[in-house]
Amino acid sequence: MRFTTEQHLDDGVVERAFTLGEIPGILWTPASASAPVPLILLGHPPLGLRTMYPRLVARARQCAAEGIAAATIELPGSGGRPRWAGAEQAGADLRRTLEAGEQVSDEIIDALVLPLVDRAVPEWRTALDALLSLPDIGGPVGYSGGVISVGIRLALVEPRVVAAGLFAGSFVPRRMVEEARQVTVPLHVLLQWDDEGNDRQAALDLFDAFGSPDKTLYASMGGHAGVPQHAGEDAARFFARHLRQ
Amino acid sequence: MRFTTEQHLDDGVVERAFTLGEIPGILWTPASASAPVPLILLGHPPLGLRTMYPRLVARARQCAAEGIAAATIELPGSGGRPRWAGAEQAGADLRRTLEAGEQVSDEIIDALVLPLVDRAVPEWRTALDALLSLPDIGGPVGYSGGVISVGIRLALVEPRVVAAGLFAGSFVPRRMVEEARQVTVPLHVLLQWDDEGNDRQAALDLFDAFGSPDKTLYASMGGHAGVPQHAGEDAARFFARHLRQ
């Protein structure tokens, strides 16, 4: 892990860009931490870190206000990172299906999501190794956001992730629903009730599937990008409850 | 409105029992309010104030901690209050249907709930007149809890109720679902995902029906009486957002 830039944001949060091999990432740490702090991994849709930056830094500031560090990495195939054979094809198949107004098949969803999960989750774990070796990051660790299938797999295989705040999305492979049944960490799931890109019933079924005894569904009005401020605040409190001990 | 007893609880909350004509009620006001405070009407199932007291006083303390007064009244037909013709019959029909494992018919639900709503809502409004005439109660006013049909009607007809935090329950008459479509105040709906006495799909359909542009569904694990502490805290913050201005 190599830090490339460091800047102090106006509220004292320290933002450090890094690279982890070929993977770019960003780490935000709270202003005045006297002891090692907990960490939240900020998940995001595969739109590239540059596009996602304004929303990511806003979420990182919310974490910092709770005394929690936040970090994110570029997803494989996003930003400037190389795509793999099949990714372009799956994306093209999805667009064609949506434009034709047809039902998106399980095959397309699997081809779109499963290789991304298989590639991204080991990278998040490698990032976690590096981040937890820093003197100012102590854990415990939470995962927050999308891609929900990445969050499911990470919550399942990575014992250092002790709480997950997930953003309900469609296009969840059946296999990931099965993996969700085995997830047991405390869970806070945000659902936008009128999400134009989201099948509400599929999201409710996925929430039902999670094996976690402590899980909350927080559904708000509005479309995909319309998460109200109080939903973000309540998610922040979920993490504060589980990470600040 | 006639106050009958007054006691100071250990956290400084003042609890006053009152009667309003033949209707018993309780008012809780925060310890050190320098100006008139907002008010939350504490709804409850028709089990009688005496039975409900421990849960009501806990909710009132949560309100007081936010600087908000809380009040409740005995429902018609509950506690020592006279039942009306038909109430016994509807209750007996419900018990027989449930014991037989049969589907509860719309007729039974209507007979059980609609007369209660028709009687209870004017009484809550009369109580509101009396409570808002007290020097230490200023408003705005919220309604919190069950019977959800009572909350729906009150939110619809009483313009002084500006926010409602409702507890999802089954046995909601179709007519009340139609009234819910006309409700527009900010809404926070608690749902217990595995509520043994609750049809989950009916609760989700009712949430969907509400006309409020600002509505949140907060679903937690567990049965009817298992609302987790954080769900109560988040509901308290909903009211603080809308009543403390």
Report pLDDT digits (tens) over A176-187: 999 999 999 999
B208: nearest CA partner in chain A: A193
B217: nearest CA partner in chain A: A219
Tell me whether residue B61 is in a domain.
Answer: yes
- Residues A104-119 have a mean pLDDT of 94
Q: Across the interface, do A230 and B237 touch by the CB < 8 Å criterion?
A: yes
Q: Say which DSSP state B44 is in.
A: -
Q: What is the pLDDT of residue A209?
A: 97
Nearest CA distance, A99 vs chain B (angstrom): 28
Q: What is the pLDDT of residue B229?
A: 87
**Neighbouring residues of B33: CB distance < 8 A, sequence distance ≥ 6:** B67, B69, B136
- Residues A38-60 have a mean pLDDT of 94
Residues of chain B found within 8 Å of residue A228, distances taken between Cβ atoms: 214, 216
Query: Which of B221, B237, B238 lies nearest to residue A213, judging by beta carbons?
Result: B221
For residue B238, which phi and psi values (nearest 5 degrees)? -55, -50
Q: Across the interface, do B234 and A231 touch by the CB < 8 Å criterion?
A: no
Residues of chain A found within 8 Å of residue B183, distances taken between Cβ atoms: none
Residue pair B176/B157 in contact by the 8 Å Cβ criterion = no
A193: nearest CA partner in chain B: B208
A210 inside 8 A of chain B by CB? no
Tell me whether residue B215 is in a domain.
Answer: yes
Q: What is the pLDDT of residue A162?
A: 97
Nearest-angstrom CA–CA distance, B193 and B200 = 7
B33 inside 8 A of chain A by CB? no
- Can you count the helices (H) and strands (E) in chain B? 7, 9
Query: Which of B212, B216, B241 lies nearest to residue A219, judging by beta carbons?
Result: B216
Relative orientation angle of helices A106-132 and A87-99, to the nearest 10 degrees? 130
The CA-atom distances, in angstroms, between A1 and each of A18, A27, A74, A235 are 7, 11, 14, 29
Q: What is the pLDDT of residue B169?
A: 78
At A61, is the pLDDT very low, low, confident or very high (cuts 50, 70, 90)?
A: very high
- Between β-strands A14-20 and B69-73, what pairing exists: parallel, antiparallel or unpaired? unpaired
Residue B113: alpha-carbon gap to chain centroid: 14
Q: Across the interface, do B204 and A208 touch by the CB < 8 Å criterion?
A: no
Residue pair B149/B174 in contact by the 8 Å Cβ criterion = no
B234 inside 8 A of chain A by CB? yes
Nearest CA distance, A171 vs chain B (angstrom): 22
- Residues A147-164 have a mean pLDDT of 97
Give alpha helix (H) positions in chain A: 49-65, 87-99, 106-132, 148-157, 174-180, 200-209, 229-243
State the virtual CA torsion across B5, B9, B13, B14 in degrees, nearest 10: 10
For residue B208, which phi and psi values (nearest 5 degrees)? -60, -35
What's the domain range around B25?
A: 2-80+121-243
A239 inside 8 A of chain B by CB? no
Q: Per residue of chain B (245 residues), give pLDDT as tens.
A: 999 999 999 888 999 999 999 999 999 999 877 789 999 999 999 999 999 999 999 999 999 988 999 999 999 999 999 998 888 899 899 999 989 988 889 999 999 999 999 999 999 999 999 999 999 999 899 999 889 999 999 999 999 999 999 998 778 999 999 999 999 999 999 999 988 777 899 999 999 999 999 999 999 998 877 888 889 888 989 999 999 87
Query: Which of B215, B221, B231 lies nearest to residue A221, judging by beta carbons?
Result: B215
Q: What is the pLDDT of residue A169?
A: 78
Residues of chain B found within 8 Å of residue A223, distances taken between Cβ atoms: none
Tell me whether residue B154 is in a domain.
Answer: yes
Q: What is the pLDDT of residue A81?
A: 95
Q: What is the pTM of this model?
A: 0.87
Is residue A233's pLDDT more than 90?
no
How many structural domains is chain A composed of?
A: 1
Q: What is the pLDDT of residue B223?
A: 81
Residues of chain A found within 8 Å of residue B239, distances taken between Cβ atoms: none
CATH number at residue B53: 3.40.50.1820
